[in-house]
Amino acid sequence: MARTDKSAAIAELTEDFRNSSAVIVTEYRGLTVADMMTLRRAMGQEAKYTVAKNTLARIAAKDAGIENLDASLKGPTAIAFVTGDIATAAKAIRDFAKENEKLVVKGGLLEGAVLDAAGVQKLADLESREVLLAKTAGALKASLYRAASTIQAPIVKTVRTIDALRAKQEEAAA
């Protein structure tokens, strides 16, 4: 690679590191171009999957202010720069790795924290953002319902007591 090509590749990788909310580092040894395209499609618009030279990736990571990623940058390396839902991209990689043993997850980075392969697996086990938001909304709705019924309980109890007194007076009058 010519020096200008290397500089352009480093600049692009640095920009990808800065714009990503998460990074997943994989080893792609033995995968075909068709396999890589299948993985890229599975991740969709959530991530950008790039084959990178380790030296250039290390320089770009340092330029982006990322430390401690060097342990993952060994061997043939492809990096998924996640800009969307982190769990969706991690699930796509996990599912693809189950079908293709040649893809190995080496580690990653989540909002500045370095992850090992097990950490990336935990990310993949998370439910999608939409499901988590729905569960949160359901929990909030349930707590609001409980609060409303607690506030309403004395009023309902008063009405029932008055109704019972009225019924008792009608019995006594009859």
- Around Cβ 47, how many Cβ atoms within 10 Å? 27
Residues 115 and 162 in one domain: no
- pLDDT in the model for residue 1: 61
Spans of the chain, pLDDT less than 70 = 1-2
- pLDDT in the model for residue 52: 86
- pLDDT in the model for residue 46: 78
* Domain count along the chain: 2
Residues 145 and 66 in one domain: no
Distance of alpha carbon 141 from its chain centroid, rounded?
Answer: 24
Domain that holds residue 10: 3-126
Q: Is the dihedral of CA 96, 98, 102, 106 positive or negative?
A: positive
Residues 78 and 141 in one domain: no
- pLDDT in the model for residue 147: 82
Domain CATH code at residue 86: 3.30.70.1730
Residue 83: strand, helix, or coil: coil
What percent of the chain shows pLDDT beyond 70? Answer: 99
Residues 118 and 149 in one domain: no
From CA 150, how far away is CA 157, in angstroms rounded? 11
> pTM above the 0.75 mark?
no
From CA 133, how far away is CA 127, in angstroms rounded? 10
Residues 30 and 98 in one domain: yes
Q: Are 25 and 73 in contact (CB under 8 A)?
A: yes
